[in-house]
Amino acid sequence: MNASTPNDPNAVIECQNLGRNFTIGRGLFAEKKTLRAVQDVNLKVQRGEVLAVVGESGCGKTTLAKMLLGLLPPSTGDIYFEGEPLQNVDRHSIARRVQPVFQDPYSSLNPRKTLASIIALPLNVHNVGTSEERKKRVEEIMEMVGLPRRLLYSYPSQLSGGQRQRVAIARALVMKPEVLICDEPTSALDVSVQAQILNLLQDLRKELNLTYVFISHNLAVVEHMADQLAVMYLGRLIEYGASSEVFANPRHPYTKMLLNSVLTPDPSLGLPGSASDGDFPNPLDPPSGCVFHPRCAECMPQCMTTLPGILQDDKGLVECHLYTETAANAA
Ligand code: SF4
């Protein structure tokens, strides 16, 4: 594999061996530590697809999203956008073609601005069209996301949570991007509103042929939306494949644990995404061997000392000794 070329030039986004480290100082005289927030991630997204990235808080999914948006340079590896190394693509071009939708519509919208000026902001920044054309585009996009025109000069504080997230989506779409990076776009909303926003995102994707990278801690949220599913744990991509396949036949014990916590009606097993089998480890002091071993119901002696290899087959990718052993035995 040549690290300077994409494996799949048709993919809208491709990550090769992507990693991001942070140096963390812990007090004046304490030794600095390296936090490996994302490690060796390989994945790709085709046009019109939804790639869901799931995992608990601290697994590296938001760091991954920031790298895909060009907001954070990778420490290792490469990102390709439509076959071009991301660092070679003009920043304005990335900002036009890849847009974020963030988790919290309360803090991501300026409370002192009207909807008209919030949604028009990207058009103003990129100097697109006359003021009349911008107003027309804002009205068009408001209609598309289900915001009545009478709200044009309202302020965010006058809107419901669902309406605010519709404003955030309108602002993301006003420049006609190709890709949306949605970072937990429904987790700050009431359950009843979440479904409306997910349906809206689905409809917009079909209508505008958008590509989504959809970040969530909750597998239930992405089940009906994702074409590809990437499961992250402590910065590592531990399972990846077609969403239908991973949901039907999860292989990694962590994916099974996440799915159990979503699908069970037993409240003692915890909220979706807050798996109950032990605590999430300290990312600054990760466990030896397989980083999931302290919480794994299928842990074997080698798991405590040796990082598992990766099995990549027609079902996708899994990083676990259960499968690399099987592969070795079968060979
Ligand atoms: Fe569990 Fe071992 Fe697989 Fe890690 S490598 S997930 S500890 S079985």
The pLDDT tens digits of the residues spanning 185-212 come to 888 888 889 999 999 999 999 999 999 9
pLDDT digits 0-9 by tens, 146-183: 999 999 999 999 999 999 999 999 999 999 999 999 99
The answer to whether 170 and 141 have CB atoms below 8 angstroms apart is yes
Q: State in Å: Cα 128 to ligand 1 middle.
A: 52
Give the whole-angstrom CA distance, residue 62 versus residue 43.
15
Q: State in Å: Cα 321 to ligand 1 middle.
A: 6
236 pLDDT above the threshold of 90: yes
Q: Which two tokens stand for residue 174?
A: 């006003």
Residue 15 or residue 33, greater confidence: 15
Q: Please choose from 320, 325, 326 the residue to mutate so as to test ligand 1's pocket, defined by most ligand atoms within 8 A of CB.
A: 320
Give the whole-angstrom CA distance, residue 47 versus residue 36.
30
269 pLDDT above the threshold of 50: no
- Closest ligand 1 atom, CA of 308? 5
Listed in order, strand segments (DSSP E) in 179-319 are 179-183, 211-216, 228-233, 236-242, 310-313, 316-319
Among 9-18, 104-113, 302-311, name the one with the lowest average pLDDT: 104-113
- Closest ligand 1 atom, CA of 302? 2
Q: State in Å: Cα 239 to ligand 1 middle.
A: 12
Ligand 1 site residues (CB inside 6 A) read: 252-253, 290, 292-293, 296, 298-300, 303, 308, 320-322
Q: State in Å: Cα 307 to ligand 1 middle.
A: 9
Q: Which two tokens stand for residue 119?
A: 């949604």
What pLDDT does 268 receive? 44
Whether pTM exceeds 0.75: yes
The answer to whether 78 and 16 have CB atoms below 8 angstroms apart is yes
Task: Give which of 10, 13, 6 is closest to 228, Cα–Cα.
Answer: 13
What pLDDT does 1 receive? 43
276 pLDDT above the threshold of 70: no
- The DSSP secondary-structure symbol of 281 reads P
Residue 40: Cβ within 10 Å count: 17
Q: Which two tokens stand for residue 321?
A: 């000794």
58 pLDDT above the threshold of 90: no
pLDDT digits 0-9 by tens, 20-39: 999 987 666 777 889 999 99
Q: Is the dihedral of CA 110, 114, 117, 119 positive or negative?
A: positive
- The DSSP secondary-structure symbol of 158 reads G
What pLDDT does 284 receive? 87
What pLDDT does 4 receive? 65
CA dist list (Å): 82 to 13, 34, 206:
6, 32, 20
What pLDDT does 187 receive? 84
Predicted confidence band of residue 277 (pLDDT cuts 50, 70, 90): low
Task: Give which of 37, 52, 92, 103 is closest to 70, Cα–Cα.
Answer: 92
pLDDT digits 0-9 by tens, 61-110: 999 999 999 999 999 999 999 999 998 988 888 888 999 998 877 777 89
Taking every pair of Cα atoms in the chain, the longest distance, rounded to a whole number of angstroms, is: 68
The answer to whether 248 and 86 have CB atoms below 8 angstroms apart is no
Which residue ranges make up each domain of the chain? Answer: 13-264+273-330
Give the whole-angstrom CA distance, residue 168 versus residue 173.
9
Q: Whose CA is nearest to atom 3 of ligand 1?
A: 320
Q: State in Å: Cα 207 to ligand 1 middle.
A: 42
- Closest ligand 1 atom, CA of 252? 6
What pLDDT does 326 receive? 59
Q: State in Å: Cα 22 to ligand 1 middle.
A: 26
- Closest ligand 1 atom, CA of 238? 6
263 pLDDT above the threshold of 70: no
Q: State in Å: Cα 303 to ligand 1 middle.
A: 6
As separate numbers, helices (DSSP H) first and strands (DSSP E) second, the chain gives 11, 12
Homologous superfamily in CATH for domain 13-264+273-330 = P-loop containing nucleotide triphosphate hydrolases (3.40.50.300)
Q: How many residues does the chain have?
A: 331
Mean pLDDT of the chain: 89
What SS3 class is residue 103?
A: coil
- Closest ligand 1 atom, CA of 290? 4
